[in-house]
Amino acid sequence: MSIFIQSEPNFYNSGRPYPLNLKGDIVNVNQSDSRHYKDISMPAPNDNIAGSFGDVFNKALEKVNEEQIHADELTQQMAIDPDSVDVHEVMIAAEKARLSITFTKTIADGVVRAYKELTSLR
Amino acid sequence: MGIFSAINTSATGLSAQRLRMDVVSNNIANATTTRNSNGDGPFRRDRVIMTPINLRTRWRSPVYPFGIAPGEGRGVKVMKIEKDMSPLRLVYDPTHPDSIKIGDKKGYVEMPNINIVTEMTDMITASRSYEANVQMINGSKAMINKAIEIGRA
């Protein structure tokens, strides 16, 4: 799409077009870095605000579950139609799922350990 | 930049090398093909042209437009598979149905410009690059595993 500024004839330009006749495409700046606007305090988006540890943990578990489901789907696809998927994609998905669940389990173990230490305060 | 970004980057390399392997095998399979699908000559060698992926282009300064920092990169992608237009190999075989019928090259058959030795070295390069990317993935995996060990007393 192009923009073309055609001026109305008035006192200043007597009907001639503007000296800067803008033609061309409108291009959006689609990549920007938030660090360029450090001084402006932007409100944080709502989905980053978590109510409690339980909410955070539930969200993390959902994401981990998605990884597992993705790995499962890829494995099944590998069994059904081996040409449609690369071997390394399946292996990488499985490894990502395993690492994610190990990470989440480590966090959960830490919380449980802290809870046990608190309950055995005597 | 996430914990899996190095793995994702290496995965693009793995896919690219897989495709290169496919192209090399196609070249070797067609090493003596004297008719291409258009019917206007022998098969010509394919080669893979790759280009980097840069998703996070950022500006070093908003007022200095030449200061674009490309970021850390997101891997490689295959731009296109290009035909190698180097000269063809001529083999004298007058009984061949595709031999040249007129001119001073009468009796010669145009064979594809494929050198099996070049293709074999390409194959070895592709498989070694694949191995290097797998090593890279294993390295990042070991790093993540070490990071998980921080939490274990």
Interval B124-135: pLDDT, tens: 999 999 999 999
> Residues A83, A32: contact at Cβ < 8 Å?
no
Average pLDDT over residues B32-61: 82
DSSP assigned state of A48 = G
- pLDDT mean across residues, chain A: 75
- pTM of the predicted model as reported, rounded to 2 decimal places: 0.69
Interface residue A70 vs chain B (CB under 8 A): no
Interface residue A107 vs chain B (CB under 8 A): yes
- pLDDT mean across residues, chain B: 87
CA distance A16 to chain B (A): 33
Interface residue B7 vs chain A (CB under 8 A): yes
Task: Give the rounded percent of residues in chain A with a pLDDT score beyond 90.
Answer: 33
> Residues B30, B23: contact at Cβ < 8 Å?
no
Q: Model confidence at B55, in pLDDT bands (50, 70, 90)?
A: low
In chain B, residues 60-79 whose CB comes closer than 8 Å to chain A: 62
Average pLDDT over residues A41-67: 76
| Bridge partners, B52 (sequence order) | B76
Task: Give the rounded percent of residues in chain A with a pLDDT score beyond 70.
Answer: 59
Cα separation of A44 and A31, whole Å? 19
The pLDDT of residue A48 is above 70: no
CA atoms within 13 A on the CB side of B151: 17
Find the closest chain B residue to A107 by CA distance: B151
Q: Model confidence at A55, in pLDDT bands (50, 70, 90)?
A: confident
Interface residue A36 vs chain B (CB under 8 A): yes
Asked whether the beta carbons of residue B15 and residue A88 sit closer than 8 angstroms, the reply is yes
CA distance A71 to chain B (A): 15
The pLDDT of residue A88 is above 80: yes
* pLDDT given at position A60: 85
Task: Report the SS3 class of residue A56.
Answer: helix
Out of A31, A88, A102, the one facing B11 most closely (by C-beta) is: A88
Contacts of A103 in chain B (CB under 8 A): 144, 148
Out of A88, A92, A103, the one facing B148 most closely (by C-beta) is: A103
Q: Model confidence at A9, in pLDDT bands (50, 70, 90)?
A: low
Structure tokens at B124: 């070895």
Residues in chain B: 153
From the DSSP assignment, how many helices (H) and strands (E) are in chain B? 2, 6
The pLDDT of residue B63 is above 80: no
More confident of the two residues B83 and A28: B83
What would the pLDDT profile of B79-125 be if each residue is shown by its tens digit? 999 999 999 999 999 898 888 888 888 889 999 999 999 999 999 99
Task: Give the rounded percent of residues in chain B with a pLDDT score beyond 70.
Answer: 87
The residue type of A50 is A
CB atoms within 10 A of CB A99: 21
Interface residue B92 vs chain A (CB under 8 A): no
Asked whether the beta carbons of residue A107 and residue B151 sit closer than 8 angstroms, the reply is yes
* pLDDT given at position A2: 47
Asked whether the beta carbons of residue A31 and residue B57 sit closer than 8 angstroms, the reply is yes
* pLDDT given at position B38: 85
More confident of the two residues A51 and B56: A51
Find the closest chain A residue to B54 by CA distance: A31
* pLDDT given at position A27: 61
Cα separation of A71 and A88, whole Å? 12
Asked whether the beta carbons of residue A99 and residue B152 sit closer than 8 angstroms, the reply is no
The pLDDT of residue A5 is above 90: no
Task: Report the SS3 class of residue A20.
Answer: coil
The residue type of A89 is E
Average pLDDT over residues A43-58: 71
